[in-house]
Structure 1
């Protein structure tokens, strides 16, 4: 809008002897504009604009009332006023409601910072699928982060059961060189079976309880529906997906973990965004409980199988032989690293090395020693004891008295 000051500047330049073109070049206004304001006797004023009526005007009071009573959506209110005769589009309804809706306050979050060596956080994340041993399987990422130093450890697995959880802990402890006084978890069944009001009344997963009591750390549980409690490790899961997995190329699960370890070493050697310090350097201040203070935890995994009539059990798509006399029995597989001990009751009946691949048959000749002879004896005994399907009856001969033959002979002679 043209101001009073600009009006008098143009007239003053004209009194100084400048023509319209010179004033236009000096002020930047068009020549017609300069000519218009030189001819005017008073400062021009713009006429007030006419206020355009909106189709929404008759309904604004109703909308304000509804918004004050309930936090209804714009689409809901639009439907209501359409029933009342509104024939406009919902866009103007949304724009108007945006100006009158009370702004919800942002809930502030208190960041919880831990002291050195006090707490670590653990989480699982699902990270797509890969083909392993001829099958498409889900890939999970285990993540542990130390609360003070922000040191990260991650590993990809194909399972989230309690044995995989414990094995991942052992790898993390080895990577960090120790473990914290307590570790924070979600409310997952591999950690806790039933949560109580008091921590002393929690019902822990028995295998995991044996693990944490052996090492002497305290498991802590997140407050339900409060993701901020475990925000550090949640951020790590998203970070590994964006910064490592996205666009990556891998040949196998082992290759994924090999590249992941290289990525972890680089990330842990880079200043953290929150602390602005290098996690590897802050790790020296953690004062972790050393893993060498106690003997290594022996992790045993158990699975249950029924031995087939052919004296084999199945594990991860491969078949392993057992002594033939246990055919049809229930067995327990005790797994430790790549070794598998097969037990029937309290007796360890055989030991196998778990082999990679799929649809392979691992057969030990000694497991079938004596089976052929026993089968032949059983067959012969079975034949001896078996009853024939049918019998052949001898021909029936009629027995007659001799007097009949005498009578027949007399008839022939006569």
Structure 2
């Protein structure tokens, strides 16, 4: 509602008998403003409004700049614009509330509505100084100087008492070693460490909650013991338990990072630290109503001192792990790299360690174990990079398999005809067919030639048919089928039980059970 309209409405409501408080509520202004409105008649009000329109304001010289920002980024907040004015225009002569009012008027005048993102917060119990630090990760898509869009990754730290923040960005997803290096940088930034650190259930640090007996990754467990801090691990789907850091990550992404042009990661981190100094740690916090930098000055003496920073800069680290998939490949940067056949074990430990040196990718079974594979890194995405010796020589294997079976028969020409037919009919299952043939040869060798003649004569072109025929001939000759020892799986079963047969129920019994006559 325009000022002149509000003044007219205030006078109308006063004539209708409304008191000042009721008029203030209906007009959406304070009672003091209502007194000002009622103190002016219509002509004086018109003159006063015109004066307001004509007056110059400090932000007018930046009006076009602010409009350009709003048109390019309609979701910009007034707080972010205030920071940009300070950073890019070196303008800090007015308060943030004045910027908020000015931006609101520009949005209304030039019809630039703000894109709103609904956010939910929950109040948490305040903790004593030096008690707790919270850590979390985030990622953000940004525009580069050449117009491309890339994804960058951030780790954020916040002291729960003072809300004092530390942030670090990088261009690739975080590894365990990256996380530990950033911890060391954060401890150096704060000048100490808290008693407890709160984490989400991240695979870089934790393996399992294990009913409260937390299981950490090997490298993080060693680091935790070295630095001697307690870990509080958030339960799944419970963001409220680390609400402070959740808000910090959003604040960093959308107040500092959003709509900012990316040049290089070093410059980006320098800009972020500068933003923390002037904004992230300087702006009055909405909950504690104090500046984090001032509260931190009181909290710092309560932090536990740490020894000299640990080094995590070596590029020869095997902290990056990958799972071996059932097709004996690992995934790395959107590509698949092969490992030798048999590396994957259905019920085994399928974790391998990878190391990147220049353009080479090395895969090991353990940090100090044997080398499983070496690959040249691919710059593409969605590719399968496979070493030739990681594949089975299928043609040689099948041929050797056939030779083994062929030598078991007296008439090799006949068995060759049968084998060729199997290969043609069952190209995908030829190995399975040969295994069935080999089983028949092993258990019923005296009858295999007779069974082969029958199959060729009757056109039975299946290893399963062959097995049934040879088994049939063995029964005719009175030879009981022998149960191979390797098929008993080591179970100690008395011989008498193996010879026993199940009792057969009379057909009348089944009819009675089923309710028949």
TM range (shorter): 0.3 to 0.5
Question: Taking CA–CA contacts closer than 8 Å with sequence separation of 6 or more, which of the two structures ends up with the larger relative contact order?
Answer: 1
Structure (1 or 2) with the greater strand fraction = 1
Structure that is richer in helix per residue: 2
Compare CA radii of gyration and give the structure with the larger one: 1
